[in-house]
Amino acid sequence: MLNQVNTMKVRVKIWLDEDERIIFGEGVRNLLLAIQRTGSINRASEELNMSYRRAWEKIHRVEKRMGQTLVITQTGGAHGGGTSLTEVAREMLNRYDQLESEVTAFANKKFVELFGE
């Protein structure tokens, strides 16, 4: 009956919501990480195959739901423009990653207990 257990894995998807409205999940996490890596919402959205408008909408929606600013933008100037993450955004990323890691570890342990290796 369970002869395919050897090929199965447990998968966990984490998101934070309020009143069944997603506030923070993998999509926002990936967008913030891309912004952190590229220093630009435009380059981050291109990297994620997302429109610039969609990226901004996602950021604004999360900021509104959290009541916190996640990105700081600077336009033009001598050094050019750019976008960086706020301390709140960096802390959310750290906590989200920790939660995901710990929940995944628990799920893997429970999977082995219930299904074997």
Q: With 60 as the cut, is the pLDDT of residue 1 above it? A: no
Tokens coding 102: 């710990």
Element (H, E) at 23: strand 21-24
Say if domain 22-115 classifies as CATH 3.90.280.10. no
d(CA 82, CA 53): 16
Alpha-carbon radius of gyration of the chain: 18
Asked if residue 2 has pLDDT above 90, the reply is: no
pLDDT digits (tens, 9 = 90+) for 24-62: 999 999 999 999 999 999 999 999 999 999 999 999 999
Would you state the pLDDT for residue 80?
67
56-92 pLDDT, tens digit per residue, is 999 999 999 999 999 999 886 556 678 999 999 999 9
- Has residue 102 got a pLDDT over 80? yes
Question: Where along the chain do its domains lie?
Answer: 22-115
pTM to 2 decimals?
Answer: 0.86
